[in-house]
Amino acid sequence: MWEILKDYGPVVGVDRALLSMSLCKARGYAGLARSVVEAVPLASASLDLALMTDVLEHVRDDEQAIRECARVLRPGGVLLLTVAALPLLYGAHDRALGHFRRYSRRQLAALVQRNGFTIERLTYFNTVLAPVIAVVRLLRGVLWNGLPRADPLDLPGCLNALAYAGMTMERRILRFASLPFGLSLLCVARKVPLQPGRAEGV
């Protein structure tokens, strides 16, 4: 992602893990800050884009995390989020990955809107394999008594090929339409511009 964003201006990466910082430095990434997303060490109204991909479900105080995004963005700046979706599926896989929650479309919309953003796009994705994965996770919740256990990262060749084809198809569909369900949610929101005569935070 850094390779793409750097062509548009300075990029700052924020992570609380020392290992992540080390890996980024080893790859030559600059502009790194070790911190939590609830207290970003950046000046207010200093960014045009805040990007959190599969982060918010790991944050205990997601309300504060979104408020911080609003603080560091300039009026009219863009927030881009992806999160784990479908609260019904919350279970062993999520606990193993350190998730505090999964989001419904309505929950994510309300969270973003009440913290100073207007939503420009909100859609599910990771849809093609969602029915199969949903059944597997619900069954595993019964069989493993809810013990933390993440899904395997390596898929059999046929499933991997199906997943790749599905994501390619979804990417094309998402250019023109939103998807009604999926394992993930994508949200693009814009910070509400300040009204004339109003100061930031007033």
- In tens, the pLDDT along 131-148 reads 888 887 777 765 555 555
Q: Are strands 13-15 and 184-191 parallel, antiparallel or unpaired?
A: unpaired
- Rounded mean pLDDT, 98-115: 97
| Residue appearing with tokens 């890996």 | 23
What is the residue range of 27's domain? 11-41
Q: pLDDT tens digits for 22-56? A: 998 898 888 888 899 999 999 999 999 999 999 99
Q: How confident is the model at residue 201 (pLDDT cuts 50, 70, 90)?
A: very low
Question: What percent of the chain has pLDDT above 70?
Answer: 85
**25 and 52 share one domain:** no
What is the spatial distance between Cα 79 and Cα 103, in angstroms, rounded to a whole number? 17
Mean pLDDT estimate for the chain: 86
Give the per-residue pLDDT at 202. Answer: 34
Amino acid at 72: V
Residue 198 lies in a domain: no
Asked if 87 and 176 sit in the same domain, the reply is yes
Would you mind telling me the total number of residues written for the chain in this entry? 202
Which residues, other chains included, contact 100 with Cβ-Cβ below 8 Å and sequence gap of 6+? 57, 58, 59, 60, 62
